[in-house]
């Protein structure tokens, strides 16, 4: 199993759309966006390595951000060479983050010079993963885009108001599909599983009673998704209470597959943690 993959190519720009002092001479600012989903129960540390040769990274200052919880946390490159930039960040279990690499337009002259044009390719590896089960492979879902902004006609600095336009287009992935499976470089000890706040789940159920069946194809979860909103709340409340109070051992954690689904002995697993399966059967027979 591979440990590192090529993801896609990319292009960073601060350039006029035509090389002319007369109209149209709008400037485009373009960055690279990579959405990464982690459908496993492992917390991951991921590294992206960008390569660029002609021109190289010394030709223009850059900014990188990693966003999981709407904070747009800035990243500092771990490797700084003329042709290489690498960024490392964490992606929690069952979560999705957005990576952004763009020209640093806060630096003087970057926009007015209109001379940023960096092209290359990006590689991805999983630096480390928390141990869950016996399968060391980890799966990611990737989606790459170029996004940009056109400044208003004739402007070399973003004005307070004006005719801004946006561009966004998807990039083909080197693997030919969005799902990739890699072997982490390091496997760490089991970390505690954290469950989402039940009120957050309840609100999601009220907004869409069938959402549980949409996000996971586990037969037991699909059965819960067919219950009424109040029945679903009751079942999830029971499950969360008993799951959190069960003090799962490593063997019990291994009863959960890396994709988040319970394995075939799911009935024994849930019954061992409070007869949840019996509660579901009783509630289903009782009706609304």
Mean pLDDT of the 163-167 span: 81
* pTM of structure: 0.66
- Looking at the structure, do residues 155 and 221 belong to the same domain, yes or no? no
Instruction: Report the pLDDT value the prediction gives residue 60, as an integer from 0 to 100.
Output: 95
Task: Categorize the per-residue pLDDT at 214 as very low, low, confident or very high, splitting at 50, 70 and 90.
Answer: low
- Spatial neighbors of 19 by CB under 8 A, at least 6 apart, are none
Q: Where among 120, 154, 188 does a domain terminate?
A: 188
In a domain, 193, yes or no: no
Instruction: Report the pLDDT value the prediction gives residue 43, as an integer from 0 to 100.
Output: 92
In a domain, 248, yes or no: yes
- Looking at the structure, do residues 152 and 228 belong to the same domain, yes or no? no
92: containing domain: 4-188
Q: Is the pLDDT of residue 285 over 60?
A: no
- Comparing 212 with 204, the larger pLDDT belongs to 204
Q: Where among 165, 188, 211 does a domain terminate?
A: 188
Q: Is the pLDDT of residue 270 over 50?
A: no
- Looking at the structure, do residues 163 and 33 belong to the same domain, yes or no? yes
Tell me: cis bond preceding 140? Omega within 30 of 0 counts.
no
- Looking at the structure, do residues 94 and 225 belong to the same domain, yes or no? no
Residue 43: which of 93, 94, 108, 80 has the closest Cα? 93
- Looking at the structure, do residues 8 and 98 belong to the same domain, yes or no? yes
- Comparing 119 with 24, the larger pLDDT belongs to 119
Give the H/E segment covering residue 283: helix 276-286
- Looking at the structure, do residues 80 and 212 belong to the same domain, yes or no? no
Q: Is the pLDDT of residue 47 over 90?
A: yes
Instruction: Report the pLDDT value the prediction gives residue 242, as an integer from 0 to 100.
Output: 60
Flag the least confident range among 107-111, 132-136, 228-232, 265-269.
265-269
Instruction: Report the pLDDT value the prediction gives residue 233, as an integer from 0 to 100.
Output: 74
- Looking at the structure, do residues 272 and 166 belong to the same domain, yes or no? no
- Looking at the structure, do residues 81 and 175 belong to the same domain, yes or no? yes
> d(Cα 102, Cα 65) in Å, to the nearest integer?
9
Count of the separate structural domains present in the chain: 2
User: Which stretches of 131-246 are assigned E, i.e. beta strand?
Assistant: 138-150, 165-170, 179-182, 186-188
Instruction: Report the pLDDT value the prediction gives residue 195, as an integer from 0 to 100.
Output: 54
- Looking at the structure, do residues 50 and 180 belong to the same domain, yes or no? yes
In a domain, 177, yes or no: yes
% of the chain at pLDDT higher than 90 = 44
Is the separation of the CB atoms in 195 and 28 below 8 Å?
no
């Amino acid at each position: 199993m591979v440990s590192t993959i090529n993801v896609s190519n990319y292009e960073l720009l601060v350039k006029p759309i035509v090389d002319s002092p007369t109209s149209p001479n709008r400037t485009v600012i373009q960055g690279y966006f990579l959405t990464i989903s982690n459908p496993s129960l492992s917390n991951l540390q991921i590294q992206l390595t960008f390569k660029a040769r002609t021109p190289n990274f010394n030709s223009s200052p850059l900014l990188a951000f990693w966003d999981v919880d709407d904070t747009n946390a800035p990243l500092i490159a771990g490797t700084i060479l003329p042709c290489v930039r690498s960024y490392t960040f964490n992606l929690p279990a069952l979560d999705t983050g957005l990576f952004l690499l763009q020209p640093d337009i806060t630096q003087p002259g970057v926009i007015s010079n209109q001379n940023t044009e960096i092209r290359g390719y990006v590689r991805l590896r999983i630096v480390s993963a928390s141990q869950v089960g016996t399968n060391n492979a980890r799966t990611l879902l990737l989606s790459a885009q170029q996004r940009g902004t056109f400044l208003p006609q004739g402007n070399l600095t973003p004005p307070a108001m004006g005719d801004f336009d946006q561009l966004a287009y998807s990039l083909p992935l080197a693997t030919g599909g969005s799902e990739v499976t890699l072997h982490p470089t390091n496997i760490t000890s089991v970390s505690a599983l954290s469950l989402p706040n039940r009120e957050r789940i309840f609100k999601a159920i009220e907004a869409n009673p069938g959402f549980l069946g949409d996000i996971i194809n586990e037969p037991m979860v699909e059965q819960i998704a067919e219950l009424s909103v109040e029945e679903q709340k009751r079942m999830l409340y029971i499950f969360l209470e008993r799951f959190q109070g069960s003090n799962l051992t490593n063997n019990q954690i291994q009863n959960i597959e890396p994709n988040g689904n319970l394995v075939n002995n799911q009935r024994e697993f849930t019954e061992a943690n409070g007869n949840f399966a019996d509660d579901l059967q009783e509630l289903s027979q009782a009706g609304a």
